Amino acid sequence: MKPTHIEHIGIAVSNLEAAISFYENTFGLECYKIEEIADQKVRTAFFLVGQTKIELLESTDPEGPIGKFIEKKGEGIHHIAFAVENIEEKLIRAEKSGIKLIDSKPRKGAEGLDIAFLHPKSTSGVLIEICEHRK
Ligand code: ZN
């Protein structure tokens, strides 16, 4: 499932405003959107670097996935997202080849993307998301 590019890198942060200031002041990047995804219990902030986004993730609930991640591992890189074409077909093929999936079907992510996560047990410990712009 050859990706077309790295769509974004997700970074778990404990204070979204402080992290936004860091990226703005240090790299001169512009935060072009803040979006809350109730489903995933996160607030996200987006920056564009070339065609790759930096997606800052702040938990809105300690029991949510980012809340638990930060409690266990602290702030840091949470996942890498590869842009793919025909995400459903890619998931079926991955599953058939024995890759453990977190999502066997795509679900709605931020930025109008359909997203699905592969299990870190199958990916050398990196949480990998594959995503595709919703048609
Ligand atoms: Zn993501």
CATH number for position 72? 3.10.180.10
Q: How far is the CA of 24 from the centre of ligand 1 (A)?
A: 20
Q: Which pLDDT does position 59 carry in this prediction?
A: 98
- Compute how many other C-beta atoms are within 10 angstroms of the C-beta atom of residue 49: 13
Q: How far is the CA of 14 from the centre of ligand 1 (A)?
A: 17
Instruction: Please write the tens of the pLDDT for every residue from 34-75.
Output: 999 888 899 999 999 999 999 999 999 999 999 999 999 999
- The whole domain housing 29 covers 5-132
The answer to whether the beta carbons of residues 113 and 133 sit under 8 Å apart is yes
Instruction: Please write the tens of the pLDDT for every residue from 12-39.
Output: 999 999 999 999 999 999 999 999 988 8
Per the structure, the count of domains in the chain is: 1
Confidence of residue 1 (pLDDT cuts 50, 70, 90): confident
Q: How far is the CA of 47 from the centre of ligand 1 (A)?
A: 13
- Mapping DSSP onto H, E and C, the string for the chain reads CCCCEEEEEEEEECCHHHHHHHHHHHHCCCCCEEEEEHHHCEEEEEEEECCEEEEEEEECCCCCHHHHHHHHHCCEEEEEEEECCCHHHHHHHHHHCCCCECCCCCEECHHHEEEEEECHHHCCCCCEEEEEECC
Q: Which pLDDT does position 89 carry in this prediction?
A: 95
pTM summary value:
0.92
- Burial status of residue 18 (CB atoms within 10 A of its CB: 0-12, 13-18, 19 or more): exposed
Q: How far is the CA of 97 from the centre of ligand 1 (A)?
A: 23
Q: Which pLDDT does position 111 carry in this prediction?
A: 85
Q: How far is the CA of 85 from the centre of ligand 1 (A)?
A: 16
